[in-house]
């Protein structure tokens, strides 16, 4: 998506702005949104409340922007705020309904077949068995196709660790889905 | 399509970010409100920061002559260090050298313009600095993991450069107590020095204001 020329530009050009004025914050937040969305969804384990988390985290970040260290990664700094906000949401939700499990809802790209619907539900269930960081690594790699260095910077972990998380997460999902993955290959 | 491809296609379907235009608009509106309520500041903050750093460095460099005995209160609380008319008081370079042996190699104050590599990277040993909402960090050097202060013109183990809401820029120098740099200023410097001891460390705030703002933000 081309940048809106009316938006303030990120003076760091690569997500490493200098002084974080409110305008720069808004521009950086906009460009970092895909990664922040994945972090929120990974911590929550679902997508339904990820936008609410991003909204709340954005207000917190805007208020606390003085704590941003100029020249460092905005996505990493904001990612931490998103993570804590999502953790709070998750804890509140668990307190409200500790045993509740529901169907996948919200705005999801339309599955192509009925088998896809079943398979997607199983993938999400399998995803929930991974650790939070592994989920975030896998979603950042798969959904928005960050490279390992970008994942590492965003999550504040070494690149080798990010790579290891992705590989182990894929292997664990393959093992958990087992025959389901094979089933999904077959036409209905 | 292999198993990995099937799984990744499923993840992309399930977790593709939605249209967040409305969220971006709400954030932009909140930012505009924050911008409107923020105090006016210099449009060239780093130039101002560099100018302040150079001025402070020049003042302190003048004080490095070892031709007088430092007169610094030796109490545990924040205390104003009185101007010292007619005398210049040196930083105790020999003591500082014991902690930062590679003292100044550059004279452009670049250290102050170099932020630490990651939030909190300069916070480890010694007091932790929490700028809160009132102070804006501009630069820091000398903490574990951060750029070394040996590139700065001010020979202290650790420097923190901040700005308050009015735009006043402050320097905080932190050193081990046993290597107390004991700076002071001539009375025409236009700056004040405040001193605070925290555990095994001593911190000085060099400020154009009449009261310290940053020292209270140091957490032992």
Q: Is B106 helix (H, G, I), strand (E, B) or coil?
A: coil
Q: In chain A, whose CA is at the least distance from the CA of B21?
A: A30
Considering the domain boundaries, does residue A164 fall inside one?
Answer: yes
Q: Are residues A62 and A138 in the same domain?
A: no
Q: Does B118 touch chain A (CB under 8 A)?
A: yes
CA distance A95 to chain B (A): 25
- Which pLDDT belongs to residue B135? 86
CA distance B35 to chain A (A): 6
pLDDT of chain A along its 188 residues, tens only?
Answer: 333 434 444 434 456 777 788 888 999 999 999 999 999 999 888 888 899 999 999 999 998 888 888 778 888 889 989 988 888 888 777 666 544 444 444 445 555 566 667 788 888 888 888 888 899 999 999 999 999 998 988 888 888 888 999 999 999 988 888 755 444 444 44
Q: Are A143 and B12 inside 8 Å of each other by CB?
A: yes
Q: In chain A, whose CA is at the least distance from the CA of B121?
A: A69
Per-residue CA distances from B175 to A145, B196, B198 (Å): 45, 11, 10
- Which pLDDT belongs to residue B113? 40
Q: Does B138 touch chain A (CB under 8 A)?
A: yes
Read off the CATH number of the domain in which A26 is found.
1.10.1740
CA distance A140 to chain B (A): 10
Lookup result for tokens 């660790």:
A161
Q: Are residues A181 and A128 in the same domain?
A: yes
Q: Are residues A78 and A13 in the same domain?
A: yes
Residues of A in contact with B116 (CB under 8 A): 69, 72
Q: Are residues A115 and A91 in the same domain?
A: no
Q: Does B137 touch chain A (CB under 8 A)?
A: yes
Q: Does B178 touch chain A (CB under 8 A)?
A: no
Q: Are residues A86 and A127 in the same domain?
A: no
- Which pLDDT belongs to residue A10? 40
Q: What does the DSSP assignment read for A84-124? A: HHHHHHHHHHHHH-TT------SS-PPPSSHHHHHHHHHHH
Residues of B in contact with A177 (CB under 8 A): 3, 7
Q: What does the DSSP assignment read for A118-186? A: HHHHHHHHHHTTS-HHHHHHHHHHHTS---HHHHHHHHTS-HHHHHHHHHHHHHHHHHHHTHHHHHHHS
Considering the domain boundaries, does residue A1 fall inside one?
Answer: no
CA distance A177 to chain B (A): 9
Element (H, E) at B161: strand B158-164
Q: Are B11 and A71 inside 8 Å of each other by CB?
A: no
> Which portions of chain B are predicted below pLDDT 50?
40-44, 61-76, 83-124, 144-146, 150-155
Q: Are A109 and B16 inside 8 Å of each other by CB?
A: yes
In 3D space, the residue among B220, B119, B209, B113 whose CA is nearest the CA of residue B170 turns out to be: B209
Count of beta carbons in the 10 Å neighbourhood of residue B25: 11
Which pTM value belongs to this model?
0.50
Q: Are residues A71 and A127 in the same domain?
A: no
Read off the CATH number of the domain in which A167 is found.
1.10.10.10
Counting the structural domains of chain A, the total is 2
Q: Are residues A117 and A96 in the same domain?
A: no
Element (H, E) at A26: helix A22-44
Chain A interface, mutation test: which of B14, B35, B160, most A Cβ atoms within 10 Å? B14
Considering the domain boundaries, does residue A125 fall inside one?
Answer: yes
Sign of CA dihedral B18, B19, B24, B25: negative
- Which pLDDT belongs to residue A176? 86
Do the beta carbons of residue A139 and residue A38 sit within 8 Å? yes
- Measure CB to CB from residue A143 to each of B11, B26, B30 and give the nearest one: B11
B196 phi and psi, to 5 degrees?
-145, 135
Q: Hey, what long-range contacts does B147-151 have (CB within 8 A, 24 or more apart)?
A: B147/B111, B147/B114, B147/B116, B147/B117, B148/B100, B148/B102, B148/B111, B149/B100, B149/B111, B150/B100, B150/B102, B150/B103, B150/B104, B150/B105, B151/B104, B151/B105, B151/B106, B151/B110, B151/B111, B151/B114
Q: Does B219 touch chain A (CB under 8 A)?
A: no
Considering the domain boundaries, does residue A67 fall inside one?
Answer: yes
Domain of A46 in residue numbering reads as 8-103
Q: Are A181 and B139 inside 8 Å of each other by CB?
A: no
Q: Are residues A150 and A183 in the same domain?
A: yes
Q: Are B27 and A29 inside 8 Å of each other by CB?
A: yes
Sign of CA dihedral B126, B145, B137, A85: negative
Considering the domain boundaries, does residue A3 fall inside one?
Answer: no
Residues of B in contact with A185 (CB under 8 A): 1, 6
CB pairs under 8 A between A and B: 147
Q: In chain A, whose CA is at the least distance from the CA of B140?
A: A69
- Which pLDDT belongs to residue A39? 93
- Measure CB to CB from residue A33 to each of B17, B115, B118 and give the nearest one: B17
Q: Does B94 touch chain A (CB under 8 A)?
A: no
Rounded Cα distance, A36 and A144, in Å:
11
- Which pLDDT belongs to residue B134? 83
């Amino acid at each position: 998506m081309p940048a809106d020329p009316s938006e303030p530009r990120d003076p760091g050009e690569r997500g490493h702005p200098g002084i974080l004025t409110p305008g720069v914050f808004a521009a950086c937040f906009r460009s970092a949104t895909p990664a922040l969305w994945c972090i929120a969804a990974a911590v929550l384990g679902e997508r339904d409340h990820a936008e609410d988390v991003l909204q709340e985290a954005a207000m917190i970040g805007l208020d606390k922007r003085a704590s941003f260290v100029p020249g460092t990664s905005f996505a990493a700094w904001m990612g931490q705020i998103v993570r804590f906000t999502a953790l709070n949401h998750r804890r509140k939700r668990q307190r409200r309904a500790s045993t509740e499990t529901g169907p996948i809802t919200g705005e999801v790209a339309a599955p192509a077949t009925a088998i896809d619907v079943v398979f997607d539900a199983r993938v999400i269930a399998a995803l929930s068995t991974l650790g939070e960081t592994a989920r975030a690594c896998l979603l950042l790699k798969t959904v928005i196709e960050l490279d390992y260095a970008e994942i590492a910077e965003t999550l504040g972990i070494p690149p080798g660790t990010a790579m290891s998380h992705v590989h182990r997460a894929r292997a664990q999902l393959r093992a958990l889905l087992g025959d389901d993955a094979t089933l999904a290959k077959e036409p209905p | 399509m292999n198993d990995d491809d099937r799984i990744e296609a499923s993840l992309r379907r399930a977790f593709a970010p939605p249209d967040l235009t409305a969220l971006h608009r709400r954030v932009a509106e909140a930012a505009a409100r924050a911008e409107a309520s923020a105090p006016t500041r210099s449009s060239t903050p780093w130039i101002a920061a560099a100018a302040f750093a150079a001025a402070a460095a020049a003042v302190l460099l003048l004080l490095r002559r070892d031709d007088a005995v430092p007169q610094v209160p030796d109490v545990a609380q924040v205390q104003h260090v009185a101007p010292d008319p007619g005398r210049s008081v040196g930083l105790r370079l020999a003591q500082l050298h014991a902690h930062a042996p590679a003292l100044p190699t550059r004279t452009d104050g670049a250290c102050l313009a170099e932020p630490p590599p990651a939030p909190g990277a300069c916070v480890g040993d010694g007091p932790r600095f929490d700028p809160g909402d009132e102070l804006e960090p501009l630069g820091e050097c000398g903490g574990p993991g951060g750029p070394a202060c040996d590139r700065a013109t001010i020979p202290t183990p650790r420097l923190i450069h901040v700005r308050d809401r009015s735009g006043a820029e402050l320097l905080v120098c932190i050193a081990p107590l046993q290597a107390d740099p004991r700076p002071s200023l001539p009375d025409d410097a236009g700056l004040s020095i405040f001193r605070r001891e925290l555990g095994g460390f001593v911190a000085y705030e060099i400020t154009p204001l009449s009261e310290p703002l940053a020292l209270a933000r140091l957490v032992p």
